[in-house]
Structure 1
């Protein structure tokens, strides 16, 4: 049995607050990545009245061996009411910042881009002051689909690189490291006002220099924000943890990323791509991009 170090222990959640969020999610029949991907921060986020919404799921068309989202179920047709239900959840939860992610929907011609657009539009209709972050898949390199999402002008476009290039075949067999970097680069070219963001997991066998190379690669495509967190094995059937990275090493990566020009690096053992995502609002005030 693998024993987690002390720094990976999380505080017990305030179940009254957790229950309130769960009640809204169940009432509106919405999925969250917090639940579907067994996120260790679910207690804290639900207690604070926030959640990362998972659309077009919960069934995924890819079988990444690190991820706890179900890939064995058959994906269902898109639900035209989902964006409206999501917008209602944002209104009820009074969210200042919302993160919308999705399963991979390689079965759809646009990878689900149209559903992202409808979600952005419906949220803006009922909660215009809420900043919107979309965490999207690689869309199989369909750049027209990417343009479609960016046409709705989300405040942040996040696409996770997930791991170092050398480990892609094992960790993300249906993904492509260069394609993920290209997606982020094209985002900057298509809509310069959108903040770009990416995230990686560590503890899968990478070296310090390989992590630094990812940081340099992301800076080279003008990525603004990076999250780095410890990989945790969801079940025994998933990839095993190769190492538990110390908080000091996470601090070193944060310092390195910020030193070479990333606007923000959130790096700690419990960091996840949408953990404390609302902090991006401070970054937007410091480095404003929107016109008018």
Structure 2
């Protein structure tokens, strides 16, 4: 009896693969969608790749469809299956439906999820984007079984130890957040753990009676679960406990979220001089970042 995709996905999850490769012909649409989604969901340490037998270029509709669900595909590009070391892959998922998928000669668990090519669908941009969304959502449904999302209520938040700093830097770099000055003076980090895995972080960086709220980061698969808010509230409680007058932050993407939390936008030049002299203000965050303030003490 042929396995259903769910049975295959559960079998793959049980095998705990360390490198999953997605294959199609052009490596421009389906396999790129799968790579982006799997990267966002897979635990740290699991490698995700995609490739094709006749690689083209990353389809802009794939980029847009991923961005709609909060997945950054800026590091993805089309590549040939010949560029992937055969001995390093332990699971291969082929995605072609209309074409003959590239063969994989290495030793690996093989699954075939034939899905329609969204690049060949529709006559208008709106119709093509909708086709990409449909394939994206089907891949999200299947990969949620392979890489299940931990229950955010089971995640434990605690003060970071010096041994956590490499994992904190790795998480920040993965999310394109400043990491070069992690472990600087006056920083108190809190981390969130799912089992042994570090899945979130936030820090207070003290500057006199004020503090910089920084490095609020959540692993992609746990975003939109409330973990970011829990980390922020932990930092806010610490700020109140230590008599902090006001919190300041810089953000390029999350200003609306922080406004809902009570922060207000301010001119960057009006931040206290000691805060403005921090590495994050001086060098690490772009001039386009929004500066925000929350007064919490007298």
TM-score, normalised to structure 2, is 0.26
The structure with the larger Rg is: 2
